[in-house]
Amino acid sequence: MSIVAAVMPAPRARVELREFPEPQIESGGMLLRTLYSEVCGTDVHLWHGRLAGVPYPIIPGHVSVGIADKIRGEVVGTGGAPIREGDRVVFYDVHRTCGRCYACAVSGTPTKCVKRKVYGITDSANDGLFGGWSQAIYLEPGVVSAVLPEKVSPEDYIGGGCGLITAVHAVDRAAIRLADRVLVQGTGAVGLSIIALARLAGASTVVAIGAPRDRLALAARMGASITLDLERATAEERRLTILEATGGRGVDVAVEASGSPRAVEEGLRLVRDGGRYVIAGHYTNAGDSTINAHEHINRKHLEIRGCWGSEAGHFVRALTILEEHAHHVPWRDIAARIYPLAQVNDALADAEAMRLPKALVDPSC
C-alpha cells in the first residue's frame, strides 16, 4: 500500500504529490491516518526558504490530528493510558529533544536544544512520513502523543493548532495577572489564541491591533474588548485609544505576535512604566527595529522577554484548555477553509496573502 504526501522539494519550488511506501513501524511507534493538518505562517516561511537548517525535500505540516491506524508495541499517551488503534490521536511536533545539552540541562531553554527535530519543518521527506500534508504520519518511538479528549473535536484542535500551543507559551512568558490590561499585536492564528488565553488568564481588558477587518471581528469573538484596525487607525489614534483605556498609563503587558519590526517600535511605547513586553512573532528575521534605550526601556523600567517555540507541556495544557473552553471560545473558526492535498499550493498562496486566518489540509479528499 502506498501513501500520498505533498512534498516541498526546495524553497520556492511548487509543492508536488509523491507516493511513499508504508513505513516499517518500530516498537513504540505508530502510523497515524491524517484527518487534518494545517498551513500556517511557518509553512509560508518554509516555502520562501526563510528558516535555517531545513533539510528539503520536506513534507510540511507540523501540527496535525489523526486516527491511530497501526501501533507496534505499547505507546502511552500523555494521559498515562496506552493509546489503542482507532483512537483519535494528536502529538507534539517537536521530538528528539535530548535533555542533556547545555540548552536542555543548564540554560533552561529546551526549545533551543541542538538535537531537537520538528515534524514538517526539520525532518526530511527522505527519512519518511514526518509531516502532516500526507495521508499518513509516522510517529516514531518517543514522540509525545495524546488521545484527543472526548469533548474536543478534530476541528477544535486544528483550529487552535500550532498557534494555540505557541500562545500558551507566550502567555506563560507574559505572566499575566488578574485584572491586567493587555495589548496583543497581530491577529493571525497566534495572536487570536493569545487574546483568548489572556482573557482566561484574568486580563480585564484585551486590546488587539491587527488586520484585515474580518480578522478583527474574529479577534472580538476570541475575547478582545477593543480592536484597532491597522489599516484604518493611525499609530497616533491607536496610542490615544490605548491611553484612554488604561487611565493614561499604557498597558501592563503587551505581546507581539505580528512579526513586524514596526510593531515592536510601537508596542514598547504602549506599555506602562514597569510593564512587560513579550516578542513571540519574530520567528524569522524581519529586519531591525529602532529603539531608544533611554526612553523605551531604561526610563520605563521595562521588562522585555523573547518566546521561542513551545515545550511538550504547552501542548498538553493546550489540550486541557480546549477540553474546558472550546465550547465557548471559537477556535474552530480560525480554520477557515479546507484544501485537499492536490491544492496545497493554493492554500499556501491564500495563507501568504492573508485571505484567511488558517488553511486546513484534509489528505483524505
Q: Which of 42, 78, 205, 246 binds Zn ion (CB under 5 A)?
A: 42
How far the first Cα of the chain sits from its last, in Å, is 17
| Nearer Cβ to Zn ion (164/203) | 164
Q: Can you name the residues that pair with 139 across neighbouring β-strands?
A: 30
Torsion sign, CA atoms 90, 94, 95, 101: negative
Residue 303, amino acid: E
The nearest distance, CB 352 to Zn ion, in angstroms, is: 14
Alpha carbon distance 36, 49 (integer Å): 24
Q: Which of 101, 200, 304, 354 binds Zn ion (CB under 5 A)?
A: 101
113 lies in the site for Zn ion, by CB under 5 A: yes
193 lies in the site for Zn ion, by CB under 5 A: no
| Nearer Cβ to Zn ion (111/153) | 111
Please give the size of the binding site for Zn ion, defined by CB under 5 A: 7
Alpha carbon distance 211, 217 (integer Å): 10
162 lies in the site for Zn ion, by CB under 5 A: yes
The nearest distance, CB 131 to Zn ion, in angstroms, is: 12
46 lies in the site for Zn ion, by CB under 5 A: no
Interface region with Zn ion, contact rule CB under 5 A, candidates 127-135, 161-169, 205-213, 217-225: 161-169
94 lies in the site for Zn ion, by CB under 5 A: no
| Nearer Cβ to Zn ion (40/59) | 40
242 lies in the site for Zn ion, by CB under 5 A: no
If you search the block for the grid coordinates 520536506, which residue do you land on? 58
Side-chain half-sphere exposure of 82, counting CA atoms within 13 A:
10
| Nearer Cβ to Zn ion (42/227) | 42
Interface region with Zn ion, contact rule CB under 5 A, candidates 16-24, 113-121, 270-278, 348-356: 113-121
Residue 176, amino acid: I
Torsion sign, CA atoms 266, 270, 276, 281: negative
Q: Which of 83, 104, 321, 360 binds Zn ion (CB under 5 A)?
A: 104
| Nearer Cβ to Zn ion (1/353) | 353
Radius of gyration of the chain (CA): 20
The nearest distance, CB 214 to Zn ion, in angstroms, is: 21
Q: Determine phi and psi for 46, rounding to 5 degrees.
A: -60, -40
Dihedral, 319, 323, 328, 333 alpha carbons, nearest 10: 50
Alpha carbon distance 319, 158 (integer Å): 11
| Nearer Cβ to Zn ion (115/327) | 115
32 lies in the site for Zn ion, by CB under 5 A: no
The nearest distance, CB 348 to Zn ion, in angstroms, is: 13
Q: Which of 5, 15, 30, 40 binds Zn ion (CB under 5 A)?
A: 40
Alpha carbon distance 333, 328 (integer Å): 12
The nearest distance, CB 184 to Zn ion, in angstroms, is: 18
98 lies in the site for Zn ion, by CB under 5 A: yes
- The distance of Cα 202 from the centroid of its chain, to the nearest Å, equals 22
The nearest distance, CB 110 to Zn ion, in angstroms, is: 6
| Nearer Cβ to Zn ion (116/238) | 116
* Among candidate residues 41, 43, 71, 40, the one with its CA nearest the CA of residue 58: 43
59 lies in the site for Zn ion, by CB under 5 A: no
| Nearer Cβ to Zn ion (13/98) | 98
The nearest distance, CB 9 to Zn ion, in angstroms, is: 20
Alpha carbon distance 14, 343 (integer Å): 11
| Nearer Cβ to Zn ion (50/239) | 50
Alpha carbon distance 147, 126 (integer Å): 28
Torsion sign, CA atoms 182, 184, 187, 188: negative
64 lies in the site for Zn ion, by CB under 5 A: no
Spatial neighbors of 349 by CB under 8 A, at least 6 apart, are none
The Cβ of residue 293 has, within 10 Å, a number of other Cβ atoms equal to 8
| Nearer Cβ to Zn ion (30/40) | 40
Alpha carbon distance 117, 288 (integer Å): 28
Binding site for Zn ion (CB under 5 A): 40, 42, 98, 101, 104, 113, 162
